[in-house]
Structure 1
Amino acid sequence: MPNITLSAVSKSYGGGDHAVKNLDLVVPDGAFMCLLGPSGCGKTTTLRMIAGLEQPTGGTIAVGDRVLDCVERGLYVPPEKRGMGLVFQNYALWPHLSVRENVEFGLRMRKVPAPERRARAEAALKMVHVDAAMDRYPSQLSGGQQQRVALARMLAVNPSVLLLDEPLSNLDARLRLEMRAELKRIHEESGATIVFVTHDQLEALTMATDVAVMSDGELQQLAAPMDMYARPANRFVAEFVGSPPMAIVDVGPSPAGLAGSLLRHVESRGAPERPGGVGIRPEALRFGAPPASAWREEALVEAVLPAGSSWTVRLRILDAELYALSYTPVEAAPGDVLTCWTDQLHLFGADGARMSSWDAAEVRA
C-alpha cells in the first residue's frame, strides 16, 4: 500500500468555521498513525474524509498516484472502492448473526465463495483471539470480545488501510489495556496501515509509530511518540501530551518569583534568546542534592498523593504551584521544605513555538 497523502485538505460545513484547515499530512505505508487531540479538533472529520464518508471542501487526498479526492478537478472515489476498512466507536454488529456470520458479512457482499469466506473469517477471528466464540451471538460476548469481532470483520476483507474511530472508548480500563496490546500485535503481524483516532494520549503514546496532534482543525505536530513527548513543537502539544501535564511558567517583561528564577538559570546556561515561557514536566522535578548545572529552589510540600506505583507531590515554589511525579516513595509530609531541582527545561518563544536552539544548550549543560 503506497503512502496516504493529504495536501491542503480543508473541510467546512455550510460555509462556517472550518473543521479542518489546510491540512498537509502523509501516512507512510505500514504506519500506525494516531490522530490525537481534544474533542472538536478535526481528527474524526479527517478520518472520515480518508474513508470517503465526508468530502473535503478543498485540497487533495491520494493513495500513491491514485487520487481519491480532488476538489479542484471534481474527483471523488466512493468509500466502497477505496480498499479501506473502518471500525467505529460503536461495534455495529448484527445481533441476529453469529460471530462467524458477522465476520463473513463483508466477504459475502463481495461475493467471495463460501469455502474461502469461511477460511478467511476463521483466520481473522483467530488473529484477534475470539475463534472459540465464533458460533455465539454478539449479545453473548463481553464488550472487549465484541470490539475484537468488529476488528476481525475488517481484517477478513483484507483492507489495505484500517481506519479506527475511537474504538476503545466504550471499554473499561482493563479491557482498554488489553485491546491496546492486541491492536499493536495485529499491526505487527498484519503489516497493515492503520489510522487511529483518539483523544487519549496514553493510547497514542503506547501504540502508534507516528502521532499527529491536532487542535482547531490544524496540525500542531507530527512525530514519533517519544520524540513528541521529549520535544513538543509548541505550548499546546507540551500541555496536551503528558499526565500530569507539563507546567509552563510565563516569563513576562519583569519576571519575579519562579519566572525570574527560571529566567536567570536559562540565561546563565547560554539560552540564545529570551523565552516567553519555561516548561517543566512533573517527572523531571527531583528532590535532594542537585548537580551543578541544574536549576534548583526550595519547595514547600503542600500535599503528597500516593497512587501505588507513583507519588504525585504538590509543591509551592516561590510564588507558583507545581506538581512533581516520583516513581520512588517520597518521604515528606505537608509543611516540609525540600530542595527541588531539574536539569530538563523546555523553552517556548512568545509565539508559543518551541525554541529548538535551546536543545543544543541542554546538551552542553
Structure 2
Amino acid sequence: MTDKTLFEPYTLGSLTLSNRVVLAPLTRNRAGVGFVPSELAATYYSQRASAGLLISEATQISRQGQGYQDTPGIYTQAQIDGWRKVTESVHAKGGRIFLQLWHVGRISHVDLQANGAAPVAPSAIRAETKTFVNNSFVDVSEPRALELDELRGIVNDFRQAAANAIAAGFDGVEIHGANGYLLDQFIKDGANVRTDAYGGSIENRARLLLEVTQAVVEEIGADRTGIRISPVSPANGISSSDPQPQFDYLVDQLDALGIVYIHVVEGATGGPRDVAPFDYASLRRRFKRTYIANNGYDLELATSRLAEGKADLFAFGRQFIGNPDLVERLKTGAPLAAFNPATLYGGGAAGYIDYSTLAEASA
C-alpha cells in the first residue's frame, strides 16, 4: 500500500467520505451571545471541508454541561440556527460533518453555571485541573455528586441534543466519552466512587455512557452515531485502575449497539502515546465498524497504521489550525505552517480564519 490510500474515498455508514483524514474536534472558545456559533465559524469549518470527515468542536448539550467560556451549545433554537450556517457551508464545499456532544461534568466553574451552582459529577471529588473562564485559567470548582434521579435527565439532554444536531444539518454526532469529562468520569474509578447502579463494577461504571449511546441511537440511528473514548489519557485529572478490562467491556457493548465508529485517543491527549500500557488492537478486534485513530498522527504514522490495518480513519488536530488545506499539503508533501498559540482560545478572525492555503500563498 502507498500513502495515496489515505486519500481515497471511504464508506462510513451511509456516507461516502472523500478521504480518510479527519478534522479532530478542537475547542476554540469563539461562540457569541447565547453560546451561538460565531459568524466566523461557518468560514472556519468550510475552509477545512476537504477533510473526509469534520468533527466539530465540543458542544454542550445543556447550560449545566458547559465548562469553559464562549463554547457553543446545541440546546436552543438560536444555537441550532447558528450551527445550520456551519453545516450548509461545509456541505456546499462537499464536506461531511458530525457534531461532538459534550457534558463536562466536574470540569467547570461556578461562574459558568446557572445561579452559581456547583458543577456536577459522579462523585463529589474535585479534579486537579484548570478551566478557562473570565479570560483566564483558574482551578475548577468543587462539584456535587449527581443524584440517581437526575441521570435520566442527563440521558435525555444527550438525546435531545442529537435530534437538534440533525435539525441543524449535521451528518451525525460524536458522543464525547473521553478526556475526563462527565461520561469518562463515570467510567473511571478515579472519579467515580458511587455505590449505586452507576458505580463500583466495570458494568456499572459503563452504564451511563451506554444509556446515553442507546438513547442517541434510538433518536437518530446507529449509522449517524459515533463516540470518542480515551482509555488511558490522564486529561483533566482523570485516572483508572483497570483501563483494559473496562474498555474491552465498553467496546463490546458499543459494537452491539451498532454505532458507526469509535474514535480512540491513543495515549495522553495531546501528549505521549506511550503514557501507559494499553492494547488498542484489542478494541480494534472487538469493534466491527470504523476505528478512528487519534493522537500524535502525521502522514508517516497514519500511512503505516493504515497499511497494517490498525485503523480506518485518522484524526489530525492542531495541524489543521494553521493549515486549512491540510489534506492537500499531506498529499503533495508540502510543508506545514505553524499556528499562533496566542490566538488558540478566544478572539476573532485572527488565528482562526486567516491562515493561507497553498493556492492563496502562491497567488
TM-score range, shorter chain: 0.3 to 0.5
Greater helix share, structure number: 2
TM, length-normalised to structure 2: 0.35
TM, length-normalised to structure 1: 0.35
